[in-house]
Structure 1
Amino acid sequence: MRMDVLTLFPEMFDGVFNSSILGKAQDKGIVSLNAINFRDFAGNKHSSVDDMPYGGGGGMVLKPEPIFSAVEDVLSRRTQERDKSTETEPVSPPRVILMCPQGETFTQRKAEELAKEEHIVFICGHYEGYDERIRQYLVTDELSIGDYVLTGGEVPAMVVIDSVARLLPGVLGNENSAVSDSFSTGLLEYPHYTRPAEFRGWKVPDILLSGHHANVADWRRKEALRRTWQRRPDLLDHVELSPKDRKWLEQLQAEREHGDPIG
């Protein structure tokens, strides 16, 4: 996969792209990550990328020309690279994602969808907003990471890139890690324990030391359901629950109603 980020502050991505999982993924050739300063495409002597909004109002608005030109340059370079390679498949159009507080809330399901793409371009804005023609005629998606406002789209783009990249085959050392993460199954993840088996009098649940894989799997499912029910019950409305799951949730509810400890 190739991911290009259009930003006014490409230096913000240096540490993120070259460290930890993302750095290793690039070293393996699994993903290509590029930060591009769209000010380089301003096309005017002052390299300005914003202007006052028509109709008046506070703040500055990002102009369409630099961003359109930057995206078109990215597409042109990708086509040239493909032409020089031995691949014969035509270049598929990228997903062009506008990081924006007005966008669709980013979720694990969206990350899984984007992980199937070959090329993603992220646009990170600043100032008051974007010229509306960028939304109308250039982008394919608008994404938000939550109902709050940040200085720019760089940090949200980093969040999405990290979430998507770790789903690509070969990125994680253990391929099962992404499968069992919180939200991947629709539930929050079950508790984890490691050595020592007893620490300051606090013991690891006996079942995890039993070596009985079926019982461990059953315990983990129950604990994932419990944690989701306690912390994010809204998620249960969107999870396919088995009869065993429903019975366990009914037990949890009964224990709460009767004031019994939920164990």
Structure 2
Amino acid sequence: MGNLLVILLIKLNPSLHTPIYFFLVNLSSSEICLTSSVVPQLLAHLLVEEKTISIAACAAGLYVNAIVGLMHCCLLAAMAYDRYVAICHPLHYTAIMSGQACALLVVASWAAGISVEVPLTMWVFSLPFCGPNRIHHFFCDFPQLLNLACAETSQIKAVGSMVTVLFILCPFLFILLSYVRIISTILKLPSAEGRRKAFSTCSSHLTVVTVFYGTAIITYLAPNTGSTKESDLLISLLNTIISPVLNPIIYTLRNKEVKGALRKTVQKSSFSHHWRN
């Protein structure tokens, strides 16, 4: 509901029809897909004693989760590039971040997720599973499924590690370099008010990046030594469910433009309702 509210708010307010909010609409849409693929099954399992999932549902959930996760990494990198252009090259912002360029970045993000994760997921489900088919998790994920396979999985684990490094670490490094340039440019601004406004335009995105990449790196890149199954579940819960809940709050409560648009929308709705009455 929070992500849907953000999408409707942006669509209804022409003042928010800018590249960064175009990216935000796609980010919120993908988070709706992510939570819809995980949360209903999780809630069902809380209500029944026999917690089972069909192979088709497991595969579908893994498809969506993997595609959206990879797409998020690329989209957050595109949003970092938007902030870099806005602050470091403001005079060329309109020309660089044109509607066509933004659409291409979004399409490339979705295409990267689909083209990489669909073959990888098909590879996983082509493996033989000899049982017991018990997953100590609240959704189907690559590490848990590979542990159940009774075949050699070293090749697919190596490919999975390459994908993780390429589509989690590389976008993260790009975001890091972008913010190094952004911070360097902001610190050179002559006025304190100008520096404060420039930092405020990046704070929401930087907070979302920290939450998303922090949990993703711990989940998929951190060594397993010393971690328990319960702690792994808690981190996955944070990355899959809590993060999509927090993001709409971060982008509304920490953003004056969104709060202003929300206020105008509520006032317009109240006025329209009063006039009809």
Q: TM-score, normalised by structure 2?
A: 0.28
RCO higher in 1 or 2 (8 Å CA, sep ≥ 6)?
2
Judging by fraction of residues, say which structure has more helix.
2
Instruction: Please say which structure displays the higher CA radius of gyration.
Output: 1
